[in-house]
Amino acid sequence: MTTIDEFVEFAFKKGASDLHLKEGEFPVIRVDGELQRFGDSRLKRQDLKTLLKELINVEDIDREIDFAYQSGDIRLRVNVFKSMDKYAIALRLLSNKIRDLAELGLPNTLNKFADLSFGIVLVTGPTGSGKSTTLAALIETINKKRPTHIITVEDPIEYVYTPKTAYINQREIDTDTESFSSALKYALRQDPDVILVGEMRDLETISLAIRAAETGHLVFSTLHTSGAAATIERIVDIFPAHQQKQIRVQLANTIQGVVYQRLVQKKGGGRIPIQEIMIANSAIRNLIREEKIHMIDNVITTSAAEGMVGFDTSLIKVYREGKITKESAYLFAKNKKSIVKNL
């Protein structure tokens, strides 16, 4: 029987981002976005119970549970759940070292967000697109050069920061606080300068995040959306119809930027972050106020001099640099007809 630490060590050596262990199945790792089976035997129920006891010292769970786990030098985000009454464990491998924006291959434009004193900056994209890693790089940039009080609210805590210039408090849902909304409510009484909200999941959390930005705090968070315009729409649409006009005004005043991100397979292995970057200039703010969110993409396209870039433009750039294949560019493109012409 392999221990959880041995499984993790194997996944790490293979360069995996994720490890999956399920009763009745072979172990699976995800490398460069693709799943790969390994091992010579299927996992039994008792195997999963033993692994579960190693992770959180219990032999059973009710339905599902989220937590963080440290395996040697490797930090993990863990979700244990049941699938048709079978045990399953999904582990995301995280780096103990917080890489900076340059190491991640991210544009210098993002440094502007770390220099802000108030407002909301959102990093968006699907699960597994590197949102948490990008946010960690931004928070670490602030940590290195600004004497600020940073409060993070996470579920679970993924990256652990060592205070440098900044003073940092990290709070975990269920362990340190009841919920994102509860933590945000009390955070305003804890004298923060910067607040990281792991995810804006509901109306109350979004309302409190906007309020925090309005009262002079810099708020970072994530959403599962497919672009800058879609992010603004999602925030507005979550509110009742009679509140949406007011929210558009508040959002227009507080939004500082949206980064939409995907990880695309590189030629020769590995993945590269591709980003759409929206910086809230006067034109963007007016479009939000006037309910013309569908025109945001046009402003992004015509505002390259300000550091903005469209997602498909970023795809075309890395393709022309020889970093990704034509097939990958087409697969991830938002406007496939347009990208075919440009490729």
pLDDT in tens, 54-84: 998 777 787 888 899 999 889 999 999 999 9
Question: What is the distance between the alpha carbons of residues 207 and 235, in angstroms, rounded to a whole number?
Answer: 9
The string of pLDDT tens digits covering residues 272-318 is: 999 999 999 999 999 999 999 999 999 999 999 999 999 999 999 99
pLDDT for res 211: 96
CA atoms within 13 A on the CB side of 174: 7
In a domain, 329, yes or no: no
Same domain, 230 and 293: yes
pLDDT for res 16: 95
Query: Which of 49, 71, 94 is at the close of a domain?
Result: 94
In a domain, 46, yes or no: yes
Same domain, 163 and 31: no
Separation in Å, CA 141 to CA 3, 146, 288, 324: 36, 8, 29, 28
Same domain, 169 and 249: yes
Same domain, 117 and 171: yes
Tokens describing residue 84: 């048709």
Same domain, 67 and 113: no
**Which of 229, 228, 238 has the alpha carbon at shortest distance from 208?**
238
Same domain, 137 and 270: yes
In a domain, 112, yes or no: yes
Q: Kindly report the backbone phi and psi dihedral angles of residue 66, in degrees, each rounded to the nearest multiple of 5, phi listed first.
A: -110, 140
Name beta bridge partners: 38.
Answer: none
In a domain, 304, yes or no: yes
Q: Are 154 and 196 in contact (CB under 8 A)?
A: yes
The string of pLDDT tens digits covering residues 187-228 is: 999 999 999 999 998 999 999 999 999 999 999 999 999 999
Read off the pLDDT band of 1 (50, 70, 90): low
Same domain, 55 and 80: yes
Same domain, 232 and 117: yes
Q: How many domains does the chain have?
A: 2
Q: Containing domain of residue 35, as a range?
A: 4-94
Quick one: average pLDDT of 260-276?
94
Residues, the chain, total? 343
**Which of 299, 120, 303 has the alpha carbon at shortest distance from 221?**
120
Residue, of 62 and 163, whose pLDDT is higher: 163
Question: What is the distance between the alpha carbons of residues 128 and 96, in angstroms, rounded to a whole number?
Answer: 17
Q: Are 250 and 214 in contact (CB under 8 A)?
A: yes
Q: Which amino acid is at 282?
A: S
Q: Are 158 and 196 in contact (CB under 8 A)?
A: no
Question: What are the DSSP calls for 172-221, one per residue?
Answer: EBTTTBS-HHHHHHHHTTS--SEEEES---SHHHHHHHHHHHHTT-EEEE
pLDDT for res 2: 86
**Which of 229, 238, 228 has the alpha carbon at shortest distance from 201?**
238
Same domain, 267 and 142: yes
- Burial bucket for residue 167 (CB in 10 Å: 0-12, 13-18, 19+): middle
Same domain, 204 and 243: yes
Average pLDDT, the chain: 94
Same domain, 43 and 145: no
Same domain, 281 and 192: yes
Beta strands in 230-281 (DSSP E): 255-265, 271-279
In this structure, the dihedral spanned by the alpha carbons of residues 10, 16, 19 and 20, taken in order and rounded to 10 degrees, is: -110
Q: Which amino acid is at 325?
A: T
Q: Count H helices, E strands: the chain?
A: 13, 13
In a domain, 120, yes or no: yes
pLDDT for res 24: 96
